[in-house]
Amino acid sequence: MIDAARIKQDFPALDQEVRGNPLVYLDSAATSQKPRAVLDALVGFYERDNANVHRGVHTLAERATEAYENARTRLATFLGAAPGEIVWTRNATEAINLVAHSYAMPLLGEGDEILVTVMEHHANLVPWHFVARATGAKVRAVPLREDFTLDLDRFHDMLGPRTRLVCFSMLSNTLGTINPAREMTEAAHRVGAKVVIDAAQAVPHMPVDVVSLDCDFLALSGHKMMGPTGIGALFGKAELLASMPPFLGGGEMIQEVRVDDSTYKAPPHRFEAGTPAIAEAVGLGAAVDYLTGLGMAAVEAYEQEITAYALDVLGALPGIRILGPTTMPRGGAVSFTLEGVHPHDLATILDSQGIAVRAGHHCTMPLHDALGVPASARASFYVYNTRDDADRLVLALDKAVRMFAGTA
């Protein structure tokens, strides 16, 4: 079972005051805090093993290479993949761009369709706009139902013989909606489309197995799953990666270079040009170990519990509108508006009381347009958040309401 109060002690950044109040960190959907084990792994690498990878035969280079590749193997195991199917990237955004440029650009043509959802993060929209402009393909979006879940009837209706790619988030960073990834993947494959899953929000919060999902590509970011910034990964089925040209050219991804031509390594190294984020990969490996130690089923169960509690206490506030499902299961990102208070003002007031939330469009402008609101506030819960954190959020929101009503 998860003991959030004890787990919180593993995260040094959470043990501080902000503006004279104990920090309540509710912005993990943007970036998670890092446990001591990850920080120690980063420092330990730089103190003992710092060298470039795959290029040297001296001891430090061999240790760095081993640590770097071991991290790849641990992440692959975490996802149910083979190590050769894991490409290191800077983040999920770069991973999706890699698929867009190396897989989609050469294959798509005029009239082909890329099916997305209206709830997508910009990282899973803008790369497909690049593809559409370059190839003549069209980007189409599946709408929502009134309960903030995906309209699956429309999804199935929109699939067709010209659908080449189906690209969707497994867990919405704004709504907390969990999409039926396996069902959507099976439906996409029936019409011959390939599937790209944005799992940046899902991988930190629930068990994710790429074999069970049968997805073709899956993207994640390390910094949302307790790892460092500047490191992410793309899972791609081995046969698809082998068919794709390199995304970037230069050192490390080459096999042989001549003045007038060059050949390239097999995946995944074909897609990893230049000196990679070695220490960051090592740190992500440590984050994977930490999450594995907690157990992802236990992480998911606890987050369902703490999110359900937060929704209950938030729902009791007058003037609040929850943007997302109010029943379980759902993710821990809880976006909302408060009548008469702009989300940016609200976030500022909360910060004055030591509570960190997000305010804005959360990189989901089309979704906010569909909801008819320009912006929202978002409190996102993770395994180190407690009921006391949710209670402090509600007390601070109540104070904000009274302040703007002139009764505080």
Confidence at residue 65, expressed as pLDDT on a 0 to 100 scale: 97
Unique residue bearing structure tokens 């809880």: 334
| Domain end marker among 293, 311, 330 | 293
| Domain end marker among 293, 322, 337 | 293
Confidence at residue 124, expressed as pLDDT on a 0 to 100 scale: 98
Q: Which of 39, 82, 294, 363 is catalytic?
A: 363
pLDDT digits (tens, 9 = 90+) for 82-126: 999 999 999 999 999 999 999 999 999 999 999 999 999 999 999
Model confidence band, residue 340 (pLDDT cutoffs 50, 70, 90) = confident
Same domain, 170 and 288: yes
Confidence at residue 408, expressed as pLDDT on a 0 to 100 scale: 58
Give 372's contacts (C-beta < 8 A, 6+ positions apart). Answer: none
Same domain, 120 and 90: yes
For residue 325, pLDDT over 70 is answered with yes
Q: What DSSP string runs through 337-365?
A: EETTB-HHHHHHHHHTTTEE-EEE-TT-H
pLDDT digits (tens, 9 = 90+) for 227-249: 999 999 999 999 999 999 999 99
CATH number assigned to the domain comprising residue 160:
3.40.640.10
pLDDT digits (tens, 9 = 90+) for 373-396: 999 999 999 999 999 999 999 999
| Domain end marker among 293, 312, 335 | 293
User: Average pLDDT over the chain, rounded to whole?
Assistant: 97
Rounded distance, CA 301 to CA 253, Å? Answer: 41
Task: Return the closest-CA partner of residue 324 out of 340, 312, 335.
Answer: 335
32 within domain boundaries: no
CB 268 within 8 A of CB 34: no
Same domain, 399 and 303: yes
Q: Calculate the alpha carbon distances from 79 to 235, 280, 347 in Å.
A: 9, 18, 35
Domain range for residue 222?
39-293
Model confidence band, residue 251 (pLDDT cutoffs 50, 70, 90) = confident
Same domain, 157 and 59: yes
Same domain, 161 and 132: yes
Phi-psi region of 247 (alpha: psi -120 to 50; beta: other; left: phi over 0): alpha
Rounded distance, CA 161 to CA 155, Å? Answer: 14
pTM: predicted TM-score of the whole model, two decimal places: 0.97
pLDDT digits (tens, 9 = 90+) for 309-322: 999 999 999 999 99
Same domain, 283 and 364: no
Task: For residue 363, indicate whether it is catalytic.
Answer: yes
Q: Calculate the alpha carbon distances from 123 to 88, 116, 215, 257, 407 in Å.
A: 17, 12, 18, 33, 42
Unique residue bearing structure tokens 């907690």: 294
Same domain, 175 and 44: yes
Average pLDDT of the segment spanning 28-47: 98
Same domain, 191 and 114: yes
315 within domain boundaries: yes
For residue 406, pLDDT over 90 is answered with no
CA 64 to chain centre: 27
pLDDT digits (tens, 9 = 90+) for 216-228: 999 999 999 999 9
